[in-house]
Structures are given as structure tokens and as C-alpha cells.
Amino acid sequence: MANVTIIGAQWGDEGKGKVVDWLASRADIVVRFQGGHNAGHTLVVGNQTYKLSLLPSGLVRGKLGLIGNGVVIDPVALLAEIDRIRAQGLSITPETLRIADNAPLILPVHAALDRAREAARGERRIGTTGRGIGPAYEDKVARRAIRVCDLAEPDTLDWRLDELLLHHNTLLAGLGAPTFEKATLLADLLALAPRILPYAEPIWERLAQARHENARILFEGAQAVMLDVDHGTYPFVTSSNTVAGQAAAGAGIGPDAVGRVLGIAKAYCTRVGSGPFPTELHDATGQLLGERGHEFGTVTGRPRRCGWFDAALVRQAVKVGGIQGLALTKLDVLDGLPALKIGVGYRINGVTSRHLPSGARAQAQAEPIFETIEGWTSSTRGARSYAELPAQAIKYVRRIEELVECPVTLLSTSPERDDTILMQDPFSD
């Protein structure tokens, strides 16, 4: 039976939450495979709005949720999110949520170092959320991370904290920031252990059994391809790989299990934080897109920068991300605009390019090459079939397909779950 992997095809905040929620109703298991609580998915279900950061979106639909080993977990943030979502009426228990026992933990020292380094960068800050995601991934690669399984071994925690604090306190002192005491961190972790460990297990084993039983698995990505630590607009990126290939490594399953890859993109483009954004609008149209689209970060609350759809950027995401079908969201935000622009390439120091370069200076110098297309006057909001769309809206979607070299297989026309046009079922074999 087919599985589906969902990833962002721009800089995140593309509306993945709604699409994951829509597909989760047809899945058996939903898996988070990378990122941390710097990610945010907003789900609108009737008159209830759920804001999730670490919890897999399928929990809202009563599906089994798995947090894979590729995720870095702040245990305090996770427990707070569980309590908050429970207060909204959802049942979250060890029967509905499982956590990879080999997933790394984010500690208070990670967040402190994240904020201290960002402050030290001054004007060159990269716009992190300050939640410790990057330093936690650094510890994982440097083999000094404390993992979920370590919470069951007080002696292991003791010596691992010695090694971890030797590194981090030295950095914090050098940055003029307060350092941390091992005894306090150890006591806090041991106090958290009884609440976290009941959820822990070898996720890879459960997924292997699920495949054997032909269960439908939905892999839920966070952030987006252009924030990938290898393929994004480095250094203004996240600290993990966000492409579809990471679903296998970040969940403990073979690459053949990733299934069909669905990329999510807005019908325009947004970005939170610093970094290059060639098609960004600094005028009334950009402000209008932000107001209509309610463009504020789910996690940070920061206003998103808005601009025209960048087809060259999404085409790049399609190629490196392994995207086989595109879900286009927020088409209704463009209703009534007399003319629309699509970025089809860049001009960098007089040279034309179809993709963003890797170098930071060249990325910053990239000027968009636009193609103009006529807008539409009638509304697309709430449309559930192509027959309900204005002809110019269909033309706009078709042109995007041509430019990104990937079919649009799903179209979202409002935040409501059922206001969706499906051209191809991602779960079909």
C-alpha cells in the first residue's frame, strides 16, 4: 500500500498543517521525522484551531502519532503542548503517541547558547527562533547528545552532562552569558523522566511492523526545502535536512517506504526571519497579501515577508526534494488582483540563472525575472472543483505547473479542511 511524504516547497509556512490534516484522515499512522519545536502547523477543524509544534498532526484525527529519531525534542515544550492540546479535548496518551527512544533532547543550555550566539552576530544574525534547535543538532553530530533513552539511566545522564557542560559552559562564558549547574539539570531531567518514558519505544520496529501489515503511513515534514541545511539558502536555514529523503533516516525506515512525495507551496510566497527573498514585495501589494493570508509565524508570531510566487525557487525544490506532485494553497488570497507576477529566474550581476546560487553573496544579489499574468475578478474561496474556478485562475495554476515542471495535484481554496480540489490521490498506488 502506498505511503505519502509531505514537505514544504518554499521557506515553510505553506499551509502544510491543513494538507496533512486532510490526508491524515486516510492514513493509519502519521510520523514527524525532523525539526523541533521551531516548526508550527495550524489545523482548523470546525470552530476549533489547533497549533502544533512537536505533535504529529494526525493526532487531531485520532491517528497514531510517531515522533521519529530525526526530531530534536524539548521535553518541557512537548509536555506543555500535550497539556494544551488535551485541554482542547483531544486524548493524547502512550496509546496514541509514541516517541523514538533514540531521539535527542533539547536542554535549557541549548536555548541559552542559541540566543547568546544570535545576539553576538548582531546585524549578521540569521533569524533563529532561539529555541535551541541548532545546538541540539550539533550535540547529536558531535556524539554528546542526551537522548530520550538516557532518561532511564541516571548514571548515564550524570557523565553525559559532564561532557555536555564542559563544551557548552565554555562557549556561554566566552559569550558573556550565564553558565549552567549540572546538579540542577540532572534533577530536572530525572523529574521529567516519568512523564516522558511511557511514550518511548524503538519507532523503527513499530514502522517495520506497520509496513508488514500494509498500513498507510504519512510522513510529516517541518519547515521546507529552501530551509534545508544542505540545499537551502545557507546560512539562513534550519539545522536539519528537510527533503523527502530525510523521512527514511529520521524515522528508521528504508528509502523505499517514503512513498509518493507531495510538496506544499503557497500560490504566492512568504518567508519568516532573515535571508534572501528575491520576489519579496515591499509595497501595498505585499502588505495586502500579508493581511489577507493572515501571515504570522505559528511558532514565533513574527509577521511573514510576502512576495510573488517564485517558480524558479519551487522548481529547484522539486528537483532536490524529490517532489512528485504539488499542493498549491491559499489561491483565494490572490482573488481580485488585476495582475499577478511569477518569478521565472534571476539576474545576478548581469547573468541570467534559472536557480538560486549556493553562495550567500550571490543569493543576496539575485534580482527576479518576472512574467506577468492576468488576474481574476471572481472569487475562488471555497471552490471544491475546477469547474468552480475562474478561467484565469486555472490558467495561473497551469502556468505554475509548466514552470516548476511538476503537476499540481491538490489545490486549497480556504483554511477549511474540505475546501480542497484533488486532481490525483497521493495515496493511490
What are the b/e assignments for 335-368, b being 16+ CB within 10 Å? bebeebbbbbbbebeeeeeeebbeeeebbeebeb
Q: What mean pLDDT do residues 122-137 have? A: 85
Q: What percent of the chain has pLDDT over 90?
A: 80
For the chain, state the CA radius of gyration: 22
Cβ distance 92 to 59 under 8 Å?
Answer: yes
Arithmetic mean of pLDDT over the chain: 93
* CA 32 from centre of chain: 10
pTM over 0.85: yes
User: Domains of the chain by range and CATH?
Assistant: 108-196 (1.10.300.10)
Q: What does the block give as the cell for 282? A: 515591499
Distances (CA, A) of 308 to 286, 288, 290: 8, 12, 12
The pLDDT tens digits for 45-77 are 777 888 888 999 889 888 999 999 999 999 999
Question: Could you list the active site residues?
Answer: 13, 41
Q: What mean pLDDT do residues 247-255 have? A: 95
Q: What percent of the chain has pLDDT over 70?
A: 99
**Nearest of 240, 229, 274 to residue 126 by alpha carbon:** 274
